[in-house]
Amino acid sequence: INNLSRVSSLQKVIAWFSVRGFKNTKKSIKEIADELGVAAILTGTMERHSGSFRVIAELIDVSTNKRLWGQDYTYNDKDILSIQSNLAGKITSALRASITPEEKQTLAKHYTENIEAYKFYLRGRSYWNATVAESIDSAEANYKRAIELEPNYAMAYAGLADCHAVPYKGLSPLIEVPVAKAYLQKALSLDSNLSEALTTFGFIQQNFYYNWIGAKMNLEKAISLDPNNYAAHMFYGLLLINSGLDKKRSLEEFKKAVDLNPLSYFVNWNYSRNLYFAGEYELSIQQFNKMKSLSSKPNYVIDFSLGLIYLKQHNFGKAKEFFDKLPLNGSQVDDPQIMQSYGYAIMRDTMKAKRIFNETLKKYSNLSHYRNSQVYIALGNDDEALKELELGYESRDDHMFWIKADPAFDPIRNEPQFKALLQKMNLE
C-alpha cells in the first residue's frame, strides 16, 4: 500500500505474491516490501480441513512489523469457485478500499461451474506465467483439458491463444498467430467483454498485423473492463511507444504493469527495455539491475541489454564487460553471438564482429532478420540491413514492431527504402 490514508483502487491495497516467486524465499516481509515499494503487505495462509477451507488474512505495517488488521474466513469445499472473488470483496470492504464498478463486476464473474475444469485452467495459467518454452506445452495441455470438461470455457480459449501469440516455442508467427486468432475469436464469441482475450487480440494486432488503430481500441477496452489487467497495460505501453503516439504515457503504462505484477520477468523486461528506447538510460540500467533479483540464474538477455545502453552512452569499456561474457548458446530469436557481434561492431572491433557474425549465420538457419539487420548497420552495410528488414517484414519477425522506437535504426531512417517499410507497417 503506497499510502494507507489514500487508497483509491484494489491494485493499491493488495500485493499478490506468486507461489513461484516466493514459495522458497528466505526474505523477510520488509525485504519483500522494499522490492515492491510498498508500506504494508497483505499476507496470509490457507488451511484445508475435512470439507472446508480456513483462510487467515493479515495486513502488516512493514516499518513497525505490527498487524494493522486481521481476519479469519471459513468456506466449504463446494464454495471453491467463489472463494477468490468473495474473499477479495470482503478484504477490500474491511480495508475500506474503493473499487470501481468494473472491478466489482470482474470479482463477481466466473466462467465455469465445473471445479475440475477450473483447476486445469489454473494449472495452465501457472505454467504460462513461467514464460519459458518448456512450460508452454504444459500450459496448452491443461487449457485443452479444461475445455474438454467445459466446452464453452472462454477463459481457457483465451489461455490457448496466449500459448500461440508469443513465440516461446520458436515457431514462425506466420504459423502461430492464425491459431491464436482462431482461439481468440472463439473466446470472444462466448464473451465479447473478456478482458484477457481483448488484450491478446490487441497484442497480435500491433505485433503481427500492424493494425495500430484496432490494437489501441481493443487494449483500451480491455483496460476499461479490468483496470488491474497488467498485460493490457503492458501491451498498451508497447503500442504507445512503438507507434510513436506517446512516449511519456507509454512509460506510465509500463509502470502500472510492474506495480500490478512486480515479480514477472516478462513485465519487468518490457519496462526496462522501453526505458532504453525512450532514452531514459540511467533508469533503464537501474531497472535491469533490479531484474537480476527475480532470477537466481545468469541472464544473457539482461547482460546484452545493459551492454546496449552503455554503447549509447559511449561507455565502451563498461559495454565490453557485458558483451564479452555472453554465452555461446542461446535463443535463436535473440542469439547472444549476434548481439555480441553487434556490440563489437559498434566498438569498432570490426574483424571480431564479422568473424562471430559469419560463424553464427552458418550455424543457424532461422536467426532473427531484425537482429541481423542491426549488425549490418553497425558494420556499415546498409543495403544488406534493408534486405534483412524486408525479410523480417515478410516473415513477421517478432521484433519488427519495435522498428520506429529502436535507436539501432537511426543511421538508416532517412533511407527511402526504410521509409517505405514504415509505410507498409502503418508507421508513417
Question: Whole-angstrom Cα distance, residue 177 to residue 122?
Answer: 23
Tell me if residue 99 falls in helix, strand or coil: coil
Q: Which residues, 6 or more positions from 267, have their beta carbon under 8 angstroms from its beta carbon? A: 230, 234, 254, 257, 258, 261
- Averaged pLDDT score across all residues of the chain: 85
The answer, yes or no, to whether residue 286 has pLDDT greater than 60, is: yes
Q: What are 172-190's pLDDT values in tens digits?
A: 899 999 999 999 999 999 9
The pLDDT of residue 288 is: 95
Closest-CA residue to 89 (of 75, 81, 99)? 99
In 182-211, which positions are buried (b, 16+ CB within 10 angstroms) versus exposed (e)?
ebbebbbebbebbbbbbbbbbbbbbbbbbb
The pLDDT of residue 56 is: 79
- Region 16-30: mean pLDDT is 49
Q: What are 311-332's pLDDT values in tens digits?
A: 999 999 999 999 999 987 766 6
Query: What percentage of the chain has pLDDT greater than the value 70?
Result: 84
- Region 104-118: mean pLDDT is 72
Q: What are 60-104's pLDDT values in tens digits?
A: 777 777 777 777 778 776 666 666 667 777 776 666 665 566 655
Q: Which helix (H) or strand (E) holds 40?
A: strand 40-49
In DSSP notation, 77-97 reads: GGGTTTHHHHHHHHHHHHTT-
Question: Whole-angstrom Cα distance, residue 174 to residue 178?
Answer: 7
The answer, yes or no, to whether residue 422 has pLDDT greater than 50, is: yes
Closest-CA residue to 172 (of 329, 394, 426, 403)? 394
The pLDDT of residue 368 is: 93
- Region 264-275: mean pLDDT is 93
What are the grid coordinates assigned to 126, written together? 501457472
Question: Whole-angstrom Cα distance, residue 117 to residue 143?
Answer: 9
Least confident of 17-31, 159-173, 255-269, 318-332: 17-31
Q: Which helix (H) or strand (E) holds 265?
A: helix 265-277
In 341-351, which positions are buried (b, 16+ CB within 10 angstroms) versus exposed (e)?
bbbbbbbebee
The answer, yes or no, to whether residue 16 has pLDDT greater than 50, is: no
Question: Whole-angstrom Cα distance, residue 333 to residue 82?
Answer: 41
Q: What are 350-360's pLDDT values in tens digits?
A: 999 999 999 99
Question: Cβ atoms within 10 A of the Cβ of 106, count?
Answer: 20
**pLDDT band (50, 70, 90) for residue 296:** low
The pLDDT of residue 179 is: 96
Q: Can you give the pTM of this predicted structure? A: 0.80
The answer, yes or no, to whether residue 209 has pLDDT greater than 80, is: yes
